[in-house]
Structure 1
Amino acid sequence: AAQTETQQHLTPICASPEQAKGQPITIATDIYSLGALLYEMLSDQKPHRFSTARPTREELALVVGEQVPRPPSVIASDAQTARLLCGDLDAIVLFAMHKEPRMRYATVADLAADIRRHLARKPVAARHPTFGYRAKCLVKRNGSRLVASAAVVIVLAGVLFAFWARSQQNARESAAVAEKSIAVLPFENLSSDPDNGYFAYGVQDNILTDLGKVGDLKVISRSGVAAYQGKNRKMKQIGRDLGVANVLEGSLQISGDRVRINVQLIDTRTDTQIWTEQYDRKLEDIFALQSELAQTITAQLKATLSAGEKAEIWRQPTQDLQAYDLYLRARAALRGEGAVIPRENWNVAVDFLDRAIARDPKFTLAYCLLSEAYVLEYRFGEGHSPQHLAAAKDAAETALRLEPNREEARLALARYNYHGLKDYRRTQHELSSLPSSAPHEVDFFILASQVERRLGQFAASIRDGEKAVELDPQNASLAASLAQTYSGLRRFGDSERVANAAIARLRGEKSTGLFLVKNDAALGMGNVEEAHAALGSIQNKDDSDYQTARLRLYLIERDYSGAKAFAANVTDEVKRRPDFWLTVAAVAHAEGKVNEERQANAEAKRLALLALVQRPDDPGFLGALAIAEASLGQKEEALRRARQAAEMLPPSVDAVGGATCEMNLVAVLVMTGDRDATFDKLSKLVKLPFGLINYGDLKLNPVWDDLRNDPRFDRILAESASPLPFNG
């Protein structure tokens, strides 16, 4: 009721498009209102014109939601004010007033930081950092600096302070919106046998999964809460980190054939206990106890529970307690610390699952987990065994045959199609067969976002990627993936916003991938200084992806002696990558060291051929081989392989991998000296998301030096400075 009343009395100057349409109020709404106020205070004109002082809801929605205001400098009352506003301040105000909430500044602090950059004559995030713009800012900083109008500074400071206070109130209001949100923290194992930790983990996970089946609840995923295992828990901080109003914590103790579970539900906003209970049951009643707990917590949170959702919560995974115990042991082995599953863990997990299925051949969840284990080993393991792929398919199809309407079974088959067959259309078909209105676990949104990106459906990928991050805010890889999608669209400001927010949530822990994304975004904008800062923030300097990125930065900086010294000390894992040797060859080529270039390309070729023995249909290794052969003078063979890779994986089939294959073909065309074909490809690639063509790469990378004297290069360079649309 309060929200409705607020929306009925909107102030036209400050109303955002989402308010005008009756949509929920968020921090982005404040950003828009601040932009609108700044617009009027700086230009002495309102951003929108209405027929009356109190426009109707329909007129408000039409004008605010559809009409783009002119830049403040265009309507300024005098020429001096227009000059002050033109450029940065125009861009800052209009960026804050973007029609799409997600395209505005993420926070008031981000807006304030951009204003400070403007006053310091530094490039602002609201404008695309073209070379000319950055050069102009540099001249202003180091030459006779223009002093900003004192009136402008006072206005900005005053309004920012007012909106800081408003943002605090809005944050409190946002907490009320998330009233029915919960994180189930890892349970403490109080059993005398410490090996029973897997069982405590399993009970916590199952309660979390049951709650996730309630559509009226927001439930943080298992990996989102894993970081709080055994830590000194500060509930208010956990609530802020995870974006939840409630936390469940508990302990479990097994003694003989009995299990004791203590739980308490805590309001994270006040750090007060809402409800607590102790359960002492027979171990054989564990399934009923877990379901009872989930239903009780749902009631405590005053969430609506449909009859179908209640039936899902009370559905038992198996009638065999020993099979269930083996399943929990397998799940703990597969979901330990780190992204890569140790081989010995994988062997143990598969053995546990085989034994569980032998005890209960109708254990659907065991088949789902077995399929996941096999397909991920096939995709990311060294063996790439066809037998593993066949086993993954068989387990997924068995699960689906046993329970055709179970989401986990459908996800197992979708995961097999995505990671095993790389059949993205079929993956999406499997996901679309799940009811769109049903609540989904984070795994659904992760896979949906990944496959939508592959299919070039970028708006949907971003939407589902943001939902995945919301449900698993402590997962750095999810935030990095979302930021990479923005970078692939050359929307580097959004990429940095996502990465910075995740780094802040994680407080720098496990953030290597996020800093790598920031490095890529900085280079995409041509900002070497910020790229240095991003890579410098990575703590683990032995990380293979860090070392690959750092070597590339040496190349882009044209610090060839630094590149050679760095390359000599990388890890053996990096030296086993063909791409590493291609970069070393590019450094030698830039220096004119013919013998060193040939040796590096020969090693790249050897490694690519070795990799193709295990993965003969991998277009990435085929492209690397083609580049090495082109540099070695084997032009016809190189062109044949590069074209073969591009035909195997066109962008219409895979918008990410296909664009990379096209880029490898361009690299071969450059080396073979076919300028017309090179520019024909570049003119198409510059329009493609994930085409690796961006302003920074074209401007800085020495691999393009041979093309810089051609006027066609300048046209492509200019086009590469613009973000790409993502309505697909």
Structure 2
Amino acid sequence: MDGPVTTPTSAEPALASPGLFTARNTIVAVVLVAAVVFTVMNTGIWPMGGGTDTEVATTPGDASVVVLPMDNIGGREDVAYLSEGITEQITAQLAKVSELRVISRTSAETVMGYNLTIPEIADRLGVEHVVEGSVQLFGEQIRVTAQLIHAATDDHLWADSYDGQLQDLFTLQEDIAIQVASALTSAVGGVREINEASRTEDPEAYEAYLIGKSQLHRRSTENMLAAIESFERSIAQDPNYAPAYAGLAMTYGLFTIYGHPELDGYELYGRGMAMANRAVELDQNAAEAYLSRAGLNLRSFAPAETVASDFQRALELSPNSTDAHGWYAHLLIREGQEEEGLAETQMAIDIDPLAPGRRNGAALDGLGARRYDFAVTAAQQALALEPTLTVPRFLQALAHLLARRLDDCLNVLGDAFPGVRAMCQHSRGDEATAMQVVDSLKNTLGSGNEPQNHEEMVLYRDISMFYAWIGNADESLAWLERAFSWSHNAIQFEVMNSGVFDRVTEDQDFQSSLERIRARIRERLLEAVAG
């Protein structure tokens, strides 16, 4: 799971309000519109103006598409939320087809804020085709328009509109998704059948799930806490709905990175694994279930074979999952397969090119692979996409430090991340100033022996990194052990393997003590799952 993106961007959806419209009308409308879009696609390629038929895709490389958010005609907030849910479902279904390259929802939403033409959008995202449409409600009636566009020529290959009553067409969703996938890849051949996804016949359970997905997408603490409530509400309505369990597991896993206001990393892991295992038990064809479990196990010292098996199953079920590619890349880096890991990272970026989190993940992989220039470039790209982020500065500064570009390290940091700044200052020969910074961090922590929250854990980690950098194995180990008392993910393995700890990992006592700490971490994680 990639580093925190704590500041929502303009691409992130507005927080949905469950009280704006009735649950059944919400879900019926979402499914109806999705069904309409898929039906339109299934009719074949319609030549506009009576021309001859045009092929959708002529080569496997051409089989690429982005589903743009449905236009909210009238600006009604409830329709805006419906549009978001429709886009989510169409994209998720198409992402299951390995012959298609489907751009992620994050990048699709981001590019809409750039006021670009359809050909410009396609060029920016590197796709051949664009699906766009609009939704409008008139009381109990809904109007939907949808069209498929060949971006290079701006030709509208087919289009249709629909006016009708809100109806419960939920059960048609997967059937129509298979038809649209077939239409878009018919010229390529070899289209794999889409497995029927988990569904709930309870509209309120489905509505709560969609709201939870929207909240989780924002990544802020407030919205992730709200996502937990939404997924729990979905499960309460339908205790057998696997996607809601997977969403809950994913949220707990992300909190081990972002930091929960109350729960430590071990409690989060235990809760997340319980939800992930339940999701897999309920639906062995749910990609999100395997992905959430793999993401939790990735940073819990689980055996590589166990984690890889879940990632590979998730990718088999959803070949266009940018999270699956990105997180699997972390595992490959962890296991020393740098080239394969960086290739997976690039695949994740190709699917989600405008997401700063993807670039954060690439920068982290660059550190773990000791490709410092790669890490710097990826961090710079993340900042170009979202200048308010802080994590890319941390990663970029470490890469500069490890490459011995000390002035660049300090310039990137400014006043942020004082522990890393002290490392740069010490390497420049300003040892007194560096020690003053570290002493100041210790004073901030007071007399406590262990962190009491995520923010304190980060300070313990930074002090441990400083002492490792200057070669003081005993102090580094002491601070690292206390950081691990709060979370098994106190320091990411990419940073451990980046070169920051090289001077102390040569010490046999440090290595044996670190293995003792990791053994205790594994015990606590097992206890968390059992408890």
Q: What's the TM-score, normalizing by structure 1?
A: 0.52
> Which residue of the other structure, out of 319, 325, 336, is the alignment partner of 1:456?
336
Question: 1:51-130 maps to which residues of 2 (within 5 A)?
Answer: none
Task: Identify if the C-alpha distance between structure 1 residues 224 and 341 changes in structure 2 by more than 3 Å, giving closer, same or farther.
Answer: same
Aligned positions, number: 442
Instruction: Name the SS for the 2:136 alignment partner.
Output: strand
Task: Extract unaligned runs of 5+ from structure 2.
Answer: 1-56, 511-531
Instruction: Name the SS for the 2:285 alignment partner.
Output: coil
Task: Extract unaligned runs of 5+ from structure 1.
Answer: 1-173, 532-548, 554-565, 670-676, 682-728
> Which residue of the other structure, out of 327, 331, 334, is the alignment partner of 2:213?
331
Task: Identify if the C-alpha distance between structure 1 residues 612 and 208 changes in structure 2 by more than 3 Å, giving closer, same or farther.
Answer: same
Task: Identify if the C-alpha distance between structure 1 residues 579 and 591 changes in structure 2 by more than 3 Å, giving closer, same or farther.
Answer: closer
CA RMSD of aligned residues (A): 4.5
Kindly indicate whether residue 101 of structure 2 is the aligned counterpart of residue 218 of structure 1.
yes
Contact 1:186/1:201 (<8 A) preserved:
yes
Instruction: Name the SS for the 1:284 alignment partner.
Output: coil
| Inter-partner Cα distance in structure 1 for 2:245 and 2:168 | 22
- Quote the residue 2:386 is aligned against: 510
Kindly indicate whether residue 103 of structure 2 is the aligned counterpart of residue 232 of structure 1.
no
Contact 1:552/1:583 (<8 A) preserved:
no
| Inter-partner Cα distance in structure 1 for 2:191 and 2:162 | 25
> Which residue of the other structure, out of 606, 615, 624, is the alignment partner of 2:463?
624
Question: 1:459-474 maps to which residues of 2 (within 5 A)?
Answer: 459-474=339-354
Identical amino acids, percent of aligned pairs: 21
Kindly indicate whether residue 178 of structure 2 is the aligned counterpart of residue 341 of structure 1.
no
Kindly indicate whether residue 230 of structure 2 is the aligned counterpart of residue 352 of structure 1.
yes
- Quote the residue 1:379 is aligned against: 257
Question: 1:590-609 maps to which residues of 2 (within 5 A)?
Answer: 590-591=429-430, 599-607=436-444
Question: 1:498-647 maps to which residues of 2 (within 5 A)?
Answer: 508-510=384-386, 531=408, 549-550=409-410, 570=415, 574=416, 579=419, 582-583=422-423, 586=426, 590-591=429-430, 599-607=436-444, 612-614=451-453, 621=460, 624-625=463-464, 627=466, 638=475, 641=478
- Quote the residue 2:17 is aligned against: none
- Quote the residue 2:71 is aligned against: 188
Deviation readout 1:368-393 (Å, 9 max, x if unpaired): 11111122123312434344333222
Letter in 1 for 2:257: R
Question: 1:268-417 maps to which residues of 2 (within 5 A)?
Answer: 268-280=151-163, 282-286=166-170, 288=172, 291-292=175-176, 295-296=179-180, 298-302=182-186, 309-312=193-196, 315=197, 317-336=199-218, 340-343=219-222, 345-381=223-259, 382-385=261-264, 386-417=266-297
Letter in 2 for 1:383: E
Deviation readout 1:501-525 (Å, 9 max, x if unpaired): x58xx9x432667787677666666
Report the CA distance between 1:326 and its aligned residue.
Answer: 1.6
Letter in 2 for 1:510: E
Letter in 1 for 2:209: Y
Between structure 1 and structure 2, the one with the greater Rg is 1
Report the CA distance between 1:319 and its aligned residue.
Answer: 1.1
Instruction: Name the SS for the 2:83 alignment partner.
Output: helix
Report the CA distance between 1:266 and its aligned residue.
Answer: 0.8
Report the CA distance between 1:472 and its aligned residue.
Answer: 0.9
Letter in 2 for 1:448: Y
| Inter-partner Cα distance in structure 1 for 2:64 and 2:92 | 14
Contact 2:215/2:226 (<8 A) preserved:
yes
Task: Identify if the C-alpha distance between structure 1 residues 175 and 459 changes in structure 2 by more than 3 Å, giving closer, same or farther.
Answer: farther
Deviation readout 1:443-490 (Å, 9 max, x if unpaired): 211111112112222122112111111111112332343355345545
Instruction: Name the SS for the 1:215 alignment partner.
Output: coil
| Inter-partner Cα distance in structure 2 for 1:217 and 1:622 | 42
- Quote the residue 1:197 is aligned against: 80
Contact 1:414/1:427 (<8 A) preserved:
yes
- Quote the residue 2:35 is aligned against: none
Deviation readout 1:147-190 (Å, 9 max, x if unpaired): xxxxxxxxxxxxxxxxxxxxxxxxxxx99653211000111223
Task: Identify if the C-alpha distance between structure 1 residues 289 and 491 changes in structure 2 by more than 3 Å, giving closer, same or farther.
Answer: closer
Question: 1:8-19 maps to which residues of 2 (within 5 A)?
Answer: none
Task: Identify if the C-alpha distance between structure 1 residues 310 and 552 changes in structure 2 by more than 3 Å, giving closer, same or farther.
Answer: closer
Report the CA distance between 1:422 and its aligned residue.
Answer: 4.8
Contact 1:582/1:628 (<8 A) preserved:
no
- Quote the residue 2:148 is aligned against: 265
Report the CA distance between 1:580 and its aligned residue.
Answer: 5.5
- Quote the residue 2:497 is aligned against: 659
Letter in 1 for 2:214: A
Letter in 2 for 1:359: Q
Deviation readout 1:298-354 (Å, 9 max, x if unpaired): 415535687862443xx4621112221121112112213xxx4132x2333222222
Letter in 1 for 2:193: E
| Inter-partner Cα distance in structure 2 for 1:192 and 1:487 | 45
Contact 2:63/2:188 (<8 A) preserved:
no
Contact 1:367/1:396 (<8 A) preserved:
yes
Contact 1:627/1:638 (<8 A) preserved:
no
Task: Identify if the C-alpha distance between structure 1 residues 664 and 297 changes in structure 2 by more than 3 Å, giving closer, same or farther.
Answer: closer
Task: Identify if the C-alpha distance between structure 1 residues 187 and 294 changes in structure 2 by more than 3 Å, giving closer, same or farther.
Answer: farther
| Inter-partner Cα distance in structure 2 for 1:491 and 1:254 | 52
| Inter-partner Cα distance in structure 2 for 1:646 and 1:327 | 34
Mean Cα displacement is larger for which, 268-277 or 638-647? 638-647
Mean Cα displacement is larger for which, 192-201 or 240-249? 192-201
